[in-house]
Amino acid sequence: MPSNFSFPTNFKWGVATASYQIEGAHNEDGRKPSVWDTFSHTVGKVKNGDTGNVACDHYHRFKEDIQLMKDLGVSMYRFSIAWPRVVPDGDGAVNQKGLDFYSRLVDALLEAGITPYATCYHWDMPEATYKKHGGWHGRQSAYDLARYAGICAKALGDRVENWMTINEFVCFTALSYGRGIHAPGEKVDNQRLVPIIHHALLGHGLSVDAIRANAPRKVNVGLAENPSNYMPVMETPEHIDAARKCFNINNGGMLVPVLTGQYNPLWFELQKVTPPKMEAGDMAQISRPLDFVALNIYSGSFARATATGPEAIDMTESYPTYNIGWLKHTPDCLYWTLRFVGELIKKPLFISENGCCAFDALNTKGECLDVDRLEFLRAYLRAAQRATTDGVDLKGYFLWSLMDNFEWAEGYSKRFGIYHTDFNTLERKPKLSAKWYAQVTRENKVL
């Protein structure tokens, strides 16, 4: 393999998961329902009636799962903390048994030589918070999130140095309250979504301060956002500029205000809405200085320059697509998103999620030869390596996901893991992609 597919010597490799998708133990040791428990237990909301009640049973099997990480040779693990496990009523008493679980997890990771990266909010808001404040309709939810984040930082910050406040604004706002396909399953118009998004952004900014104020030592704080990704249809100055403009406009309501302290006014025009009602200091709070920015990057759109301005190009029906409709094969979007974010903020960057949904049938030998996932990862990692060569300050990569798990509204019907999960026996088995990724982490280059 050509040497130009090597990564910098200090580049870090990891894997990622999320609490509701893997932990199970939904009613053990003081945990109370999240909005996702309520949603998945509602008939017709999740494919096949699947729930996260058991999921991968990571709550009881985390030591086994850490061994899987050791087998991969990764040095980082991104996980999320379940808000209803730590503060079951959202704003009330702390559940020490919940904190104890994450303390055991962190200690086991460190003993294995794996650096923990904790995400405070990966969509599992306590049902009590939703009932009390209307979820993200209510401004108070932002303050409750920050209090909870501070509790986590105080308890774990002596050992967890790297924190992400939230995961993917659009998924727990627009998909949850607009389209209704994620918990809590509301369907409101675009104008009513505006304050929901604003409160979520505020929750991020308040959590940044709460983590720093409560951690017993200096910690690094960022977020994990999945921006809308654009890449030039041709790498010429005019088309690159068109892709940049599409990126800045379409991310002008979520990522851009976090990084710049200002909404892009063109975003409001695009959504045909008016800006949110704000209180003094909101934008300064939303854009609190970050130590790093982490990006979940899967799929993107091509953009071109036209006589009337930048234009995104719709994908044709024949465009290569993986085993979930939204996942197109667009590896260059990873490179260009890193470039465009790097222009907005001069901070270290991470890929906090990138991975592939494949069919993953086992052959007669019981093997999963997921060459489609392997080719996906190879192409996207080449784009990441190109970014490091071109001066982007990319520090590390978290593959999504360690193992097959609860894929939200798709239940267990869609698989993103590099370890195959048998959801009847809960046995984990390495796919071909896991063996390939282990070799990549060893050689620190795309193979």
User: Which residues, listed in sequence order, are joined to residue 220 by a DSSP beta bridge?
Assistant: 162
Give the DSSP H/E element, type plus range, for residue 62: helix 58-72
Residue 1 CB-half CA count within 13 A? 13
Q: Where are the alpha helices (DSSP H) in 307-370?
A: 332-344
For the four alpha carbons of 227, 116, 395 and 441, in that order, the dihedral sign comes to: negative
The total of other beta-carbon atoms located within 10 Å of residue 130's CB is 22
Active site residues: 168, 353
Residue type, 149: A
Angle at 332 between CA 299 and CA 400, to 5 degrees: 45
Phi, psi torsion values for 231, nearest 5 degrees: -135, 145
Residue 93 has which token pair? 């008493």
Residues with Cβ < 8 Å from 344, sequence gap 6 or more?
A: 248, 256, 259, 260
Residue 402 has which token pair? 């360690």
Q: How far apart are CA 338 and CA 420, in angstroms?
A: 30
User: Which residues, listed in sequence order, are joined to residue 420 by a DSSP beta bridge?
Assistant: 429
Residues with Cβ < 8 Å from 96, sequence gap 6 or more?
A: none
User: Which residues, listed in sequence order, are joined to residue 258 by a DSSP beta bridge?
Assistant: none
Q: How far apart are CA 91 and CA 387, in angstroms?
A: 42
For the four alpha carbons of 426, 428, 433 and 437, in that order, the dihedral sign comes to: positive
Closest CA to 215 of 120, 77, 351, 339: 120
Q: How far apart are CA 269 and CA 250, in angstroms?
A: 11
Q: How far apart are CA 121 and CA 279, in angstroms?
A: 24
Closest CA to 151 of 79, 103, 196: 103
Sheet with 309-313, strands from edge to edge, namely 230-232, 301-306, 309-313
Q: Which residue has the tokens 């899967």?
A: 298
Angstrom distances, CA of residue 386 to CA of 99, 210, 224, 353, 379: 40, 36, 21, 18, 11
